[in-house]
Amino acid sequence: MAVYFMLPATSLYAQGEPWIIAVDGLAFRELGPEIGSLELELKRLPKEPDGYLGDALRNAPNIANMSPKVISYSWSRDPADSREEIEVLKSAILAYYQHAAQKNRPLVIVAHSWGTVLAYTALHQLVDQGSDVRIACFITLGSPLNPRVDAGSGALVWNFLKNKSIMEGLPLNIIFKNQQKPSNVTGEWVNLWAKGDLISNQVSAANENVQIDKDNVLWNSLYFVANFGLRDYVLGPSTFKWHGEYYKNPRWINGEIPEIIKRNIPKRAIVAPTDQKTELYGLLMLIVFFFYSIFKLIGSLF
């Protein structure tokens, strides 16, 4: 007959299994002659397929290890639709938060380029509307929220922002003037930027700004030349290459970004079932063998 004993309930811990909303940047295919000479510059940017950021997050092993639910937020990626898209994004964030909360899962937002403007604005407006949304962490990549003012660098973004058909109806005082961390972001807001990406910059309202082309200058130089060619490197860092490095370079998409998420999401307790049984055959055999040896030893003495 098998003998069993009951194991006490034990608490194991798993890393939060986050829900991640990924917000893409502009498609640039939508830009036309109405933005003047800037059209040629912006159209040089890589044409990424819809859902590119979500795909990159799903394919990063260190993110996959967290068993996340990655949601690619789908939008037109046309800057002229920004006002309407912010309203839709607010509804999406609220709906996903409610579903995630029911499953005790933290909600994370990762946004790239113009998607950071949409996400930042949507979060602030949700606060103003009294929503109970809570975001475990907010990660912005290549954000134009703080356009540069150094000579030449800021022209790309500033000329874009002067376009009335794009900016009309947007709450510019929230987006570009009185920047604050959205109070519904309960963890960190981390902003990744690159000096070589002229669209991006540091954002003072963020908890941390990580410059991806600052550390290990030699490594970055070799990587840039190997991937983008010597001509681009000699002419200076190319915005049209660096702007996609955040989600293409494993050092960031599979390194820094997963670490940011991990340190901002709680570990979830998993209670082992109390009816778990373990057979004692091995232990019983040891006990029987022990007593058999004792009796045999005693018998040899008489």
**pLDDT at res. 272:** 41
Kindly report which listed range (115-124, 138-147, 196-205) carries the lowest average pLDDT score.
Answer: 196-205
Q: Report the percent of the chain where pLDDT is more than 70.
A: 63
**pLDDT at res. 275:** 41
Across 143-159, average pLDDT? 69
pLDDT single digits (tens) 85-105: 999 999 999 999 999 999 999
pLDDT single digits (tens) 233-259: 444 445 567 888 999 999 999 999 999
Across 140-165, average pLDDT? 72
**pLDDT at res. 269:** 46
Chain-wide mean pLDDT for the chain? 78
**pLDDT at res. 7:** 36
pLDDT single digits (tens) 96-139: 999 999 999 999 999 999 999 999 999 999 999 999 999 999 99
- Domain ranges within the chain, ordered by starting residue: 4-8+271-301, 17-265
pLDDT reading at 270 higher than 60? no
DSSP labels, the chain: ---EEEPPP-EEEEE---EEEEE----STT--GGGTTHHHHHTTS--PPTTHHHHHHHT-HHHHTT--EEEEE-----GGGHHHHHHHHHHHHHHHHHHHHHTT--EEEEEETHHHHHHHHHHHHHHHTT----BSEEEEES--SS---STTTTHHHHHHHT-HHHHTTS-HIIIIIS----TTB-S-EEEEE-TT-TT----TTSSEEEETTTS-HHHHHHHHHHHH-HHHHHH---HHHHTTHHHHSHHIIIIIHHHHHHHHSPEEEEEPPTT-EEE-HHHHHHHHHHHHHHHHHHHHH-
pLDDT reading at 277 higher than 50? no
In CATH, what number does 17-265 get?
3.40.50
pTM of the model: 0.75
Kindly report which listed range (192-196, 217-221, 281-285) carries the lowest average pLDDT score.
Answer: 217-221
Tokens, residue 275: 């009816």
* First and final C-alpha spacing in the chain: 35
**pLDDT at res. 51:** 96
- 82-102 helix and 114-128 helix, angle to the nearest 10 degrees: 70
Task: Look up residue 41 and give its amino acid.
Answer: E
pLDDT reading at 63 higher than 80? yes
Across 171-199, average pLDDT? 88
